[in-house]
Amino acid sequence: MSMTPQIYSLTKAMLQQGIDKALTDYKIAALTHKENTDQPLYDYISNSNQIVFAYQPTVLSPKKFLFPQEETLTTYTNDGKVTATINAFPQVLFGITPCDLNGIKLMDEAFAEGYGDPNYLAKREQTIIIGKECDKVCDQDAFCYKVKANHIATGFDVMLYPNEANNNFLIKVATDKGLAFINKYFATSKGDEKLLQDFLARKEKNFSEKSFTKLDQFPELFERHRHHPIWEQEGSRCLSCGSCIMVCPTCYCFDVVDNTELNLKKGTRTRKWDACMLSAFAVVAGGENFRHAATGRLHHRINRKFNFLMRKHGQSVCVGCGRCVRACLAQISPKTIAAAITNDEAV
């Protein structure tokens, strides 16, 4: 569809009022705090007061709402009945920042390519995405701007532009789905184009550090430097714990396990998050391990982000959210590796 994006304006109070109305029809996930703590996470909310408007990086990304940690694929019974299971319901992902919006866009492309994944696509179809632009870097571990993932043009239904106090929002509607959602639940007024320009100027100023200068050449550079010393340097510290994959917005490898109930009458075939950095990821039944070294596994994972998949998607598949940097016990960072491979000065 092509439509000229309209700009609306909303106070925080009106925004919350709309969310509370929509909660009667949708499950809504937003940035919130874990109960009785100040630990930020994305979770389904029951009222809009639970929403945290000032962005704080989370441990897990919002990918879990489209690609859950555990998901039933089929159910089976001992009298031979086998059924495909697809669990999809109307939901809204509220306040998703550009790094994670890029993550979702990349996952959309990955699950739609070739054999379309019915479970992901069914969930995605019933999901409305409301993004929230960032006007500054969230912390010292994030490096979204280095891989240009602090910008996003498509892949969401509505975008929010908060003012500095987070009490007033400009809204840009990007899709018909988004327009219908806004019209149904929110009392908006017309937005001021100038305020949007102010936001964008503020963003430009605050993201003063620019992207990797050779970002576009990453696939060739990573191909050429297959045996760069950085791989052994970083890989030798890897504990193969898999944390980097769990927290990553664009990782989606999965294992499949059958679980039969104790009465042996029925069971479920479930897929669960898996991690290519775990030592047994490429082990076959005969015992051969096709990627037995941690260094090789690190090389494989980072090359997916900056080389193999970057060629397919036309953008860096690492979105620089910084989650793996925060999670890694061995302080391995894609930013360090990319800087070494591409000889960038400023890390």
Partner 1 sequence: MTANAPLKLQSRDDKLYLPVPAKIIAIKEFTAKEKFFRLELPQGMSLGHVPAQFVMVSLFGIGEAPISISSPPSKDNIFELCVRAVGDVTNNLHRLNVGDVIHIRGPFGHGYEDSIIQRMQGKQIVFIAGGLGYAPVRSLINKVVPEHKNYEKVFVLYGYRNPSEKLYDEETKAIAAVGGNVEYLETVDKSDATWKGNVGVITTLIPKINIDPVKTIAVICGPPVMYKFVVKSLLERKVPKENIYMSLERRMKCGVGKCGHCQMEGVYVCQKGPVFSYADVEHNEEAL
* Interface contacts to partner 1, rule CB under 8 A: 73-74, 76, 80, 82-84, 86, 109-119, 121-122, 216, 226, 252-258, 260, 267, 269, 271, 274, 276, 281-286, 288, 290-291, 296, 300, 303-304, 307-309, 311-315
Nearest approach, Cβ of 104 to partner 1 (angstroms)?
Answer: 15
Nearest approach, Cβ of 68 to partner 1 (angstroms)?
Answer: 15
Residue placing its CB nearer to partner 1 in the complex, 44 or 76 = 76
Residue placing its CB nearer to partner 1 in the complex, 33 or 313 = 313
Nearest approach, Cβ of 195 to partner 1 (angstroms)?
Answer: 33
Residue placing its CB nearer to partner 1 in the complex, 1 or 284 = 284
Euclidean distance between the first and the last CA atom of the chain, given in angstroms as a whole number: 40
Nearest approach, Cβ of 160 to partner 1 (angstroms)?
Answer: 28
Residue placing its CB nearer to partner 1 in the complex, 40 or 267 = 267
Q: Cα dist. 333→24, 306, 320, 324, 329 in Å?
A: 42, 13, 10, 7, 11
Residue placing its CB nearer to partner 1 in the complex, 58 or 243 = 243
DSSP string, 185-211: H---EE--HHHHHHHHHHHHHH--S--
Interatomic CA distance for residues 128 and 101, integer angstroms: 12
Nearest approach, Cβ of 84 to partner 1 (angstroms)?
Answer: 4
Interatomic CA distance for residues 253 and 189, integer angstroms: 44
* Structure tokens that stand for 56 in this block: 């704080």
Interatomic CA distance for residues 338 and 347, integer angstroms: 9
Using only C-alpha atoms, what is the Rg of the chain? 21
